Structure 1
């Protein structure tokens, strides 16, 4: 094992220029942890929030950005039972992914699905864990229901479209260009709405013959919150996972009451290892078979070397990508 590794750190809160290449000591796995030699790391909007100083690092987590990686187990800590050196894993982590090596609780790692490259595997953890928890556990999406997902060409969006469709839901996605609408339809959406040129509330109502969407997954916030209440069906569930347009909202609570809606939300990074372990079991049981059957395929928009993390963040901030942006580390 080398003593030092290359890593991308945040020099101080700011723009992409805040990301700097550093030499860091290779971390040692604690009891119950594995040390992963990182092959590829996913880039997420939460990394951008952390870079800007708006997403605090949970206690005990690495200060380096990076919430998901794929790689090879390089070392195991005391008490590790599932993994051995040489195993290939896809990992959800609380931080530290933008580096050659990273430690993670063994219970937060899943096997790299057969037939996938490391780059493709690195596109899976954050999106699959988030979608399963929020759409199917919190939102309780069922077969035959209508599902509306905003940001259909994001990593979360493209994953949600595919899983929801595979489990028998009718899927409506929003996106901001004709090219992105085509991508949503290609991933399985039944209907795609250009939010720049059409009213998604009217489109959802028309597509559902006035019923509305049973489950809505929203990462936009702002004025979308009130419009989601309008677009929701009676007994609908609206799940908030981000707020790109702001967390302060104005909404008509009469709709919440008269439609008997549930408005909920969650974050994942700071949840306990025990919670993430239980979620990992559900993802491996319910989602990993969809990958094996070909019904869920990770979409990678761009792959850049670790040293170009700044360019990766700049690309994400243009919102022009369709699918995941991945940093290739090894």
Structure 2
């Protein structure tokens, strides 16, 4: 029986290169399950590869989508039939922007019944990135000062909440003044509107000239480069994204600062994480979310998979109200 899938055969503007087509449903192999997807968020990290940013490691044609939630409908050889009917995150398998996803059973994450699909679909990319960046990569301690750009994003809002949980001081940088009240409510100590002031000068004022203990850059280009000048000597700027599509000015950072620059990619952590550490990390993050200590952005609109063009258009609308756009079953 055929199933719908969103695919692209060349790189470019998502609205130009994505198309919906019928594909064979397939069947799970050794150690795999088949999951009927019920919800998938549209993240910047889903759209950036379509534009060709990582063309060297993407085989075409490809199905986009890194996360989502669904129900196990079949189990391959070597997998307990008890998985069938369970609601899970089918991760590290096929792209999620299709009706059915085949995924390795050992990486499946069970979803608590208390979490509805719109929240469950968002449990991977941003929560795990925020947790690992702040705890494992930067090893932030209570009392440390962290500066983060693009902080009005889903990821930034999670980092703000983690600052309250872990006790570090967050200086949130955002280009939208409308985000200030919400970021302060979530846990940020200060909010800088990057369109109005110098981020570097403001950070130095807020830290009495000492600079921050760490920084997280999601933008790249000039905004990311500026963060390198906001740090104490020999502290770390962690790059986790390139929303601008432009790299940092490495020469300016090397010649003008003693900042240590590191990159964090979730896919590289995936390659290093053991099955035990993978599930321990999810268990910890899920405990915080299920307990209400961490909250995710409510979905503002849901579109059926076949109406992906409308959904992508809404997700990429500049200045739209905060919230996730979901592709549903």
The alignment's TM-score, normalised by the length of structure 2, stands at 0.88
- Secondary structure of the residue aligned to 1:156 is helix
Q: How does 1:20-35 map to 2 (within 5 A)?
A: 20-35=19-34
> Residue in 2 aligned with 1:253?
254
> Residue in 2 aligned with 1:217?
216
Q: Is the 8 A contact 1:46 1:55 kept in 2?
A: no
Q: CA deviation at 1:94?
A: 5.7
1:286-312 residue CA offsets vs partner (Å, 9 max, x unmatched)? 322211221111103533312232233
Q: CA deviation at 1:327?
A: 2.4
Could you tell me how far apart the structure 1 residues matched to 2:276 and 2:81 are?
15
Could you tell me how far apart the structure 2 residues matched to 1:274 and 1:26 are?
31
> Residue in 1 aligned with 2:152?
153
> Residue in 1 aligned with 2:5?
7
Q: Is the 8 A contact 1:217 1:239 kept in 2?
A: yes
> Residue in 1 aligned with 2:77?
78
Q: CA deviation at 1:75?
A: 1.8
Matched, 1:296 2:294: yes
- Secondary structure of the residue aligned to 1:38 is strand
Q: Is the 8 A contact 1:109 1:280 kept in 2?
A: no
Q: Is the 8 A contact 1:27 1:102 kept in 2?
A: no
Aligned residues: 325
Could you tell me how far apart the structure 1 residues matched to 2:59 and 2:116 are?
30
Could you tell me how far apart the structure 2 residues matched to 1:229 and 1:72 are?
44
Greater RCO between the two (CA within 8 Å, min separation 6)?
A: 1
Of 103-112 and 186-195, deviating more is 103-112
Could you tell me how far apart the structure 2 residues matched to 1:294 and 1:88 are?
20
Q: Is the 8 A contact 1:89 1:112 kept in 2?
A: yes
Q: CA deviation at 1:67?
A: 0.3
Q: CA deviation at 1:122?
A: 0.7
Q: CA deviation at 1:95?
A: 4.5
- Secondary structure of the residue aligned to 1:269 is helix
CA distance 1:206–1:33, change in 2 (3 Å): farther
Could you tell me how far apart the structure 1 residues matched to 2:80 and 2:321 are?
38
Q: How does 1:108-257 map to 2 (within 5 A)?
A: 108-245=107-244, 246-247=246-247, 249=249, 250-257=251-258
Q: Is the 8 A contact 1:58 1:270 kept in 2?
A: no
CA distance 1:254–1:99, change in 2 (3 Å): same
Of 164-173 and 60-69, deviating more is 60-69
Q: Is the 8 A contact 1:218 1:240 kept in 2?
A: yes
Q: Is the 8 A contact 2:2 2:23 kept in 1?
A: yes
CA distance 1:266–1:274, change in 2 (3 Å): closer
Could you tell me how far apart the structure 1 residues matched to 2:198 and 2:169 are?
19
CA distance 1:104–1:98, change in 2 (3 Å): same
Q: Is the 8 A contact 2:225 2:248 kept in 1?
A: no
> Residue in 2 aligned with 1:87?
86
Matched, 1:284 2:285: no
CA RMSD of aligned residues (A): 2.7
Q: Is the 8 A contact 1:72 1:85 kept in 2?
A: yes
Could you tell me how far apart the structure 2 residues matched to 1:233 and 1:322 are?
35
Q: CA deviation at 1:282?
A: 3.8
Q: Is the 8 A contact 1:90 1:122 kept in 2?
A: yes
Could you tell me how far apart the structure 2 residues matched to 1:282 and 1:164 are?
21
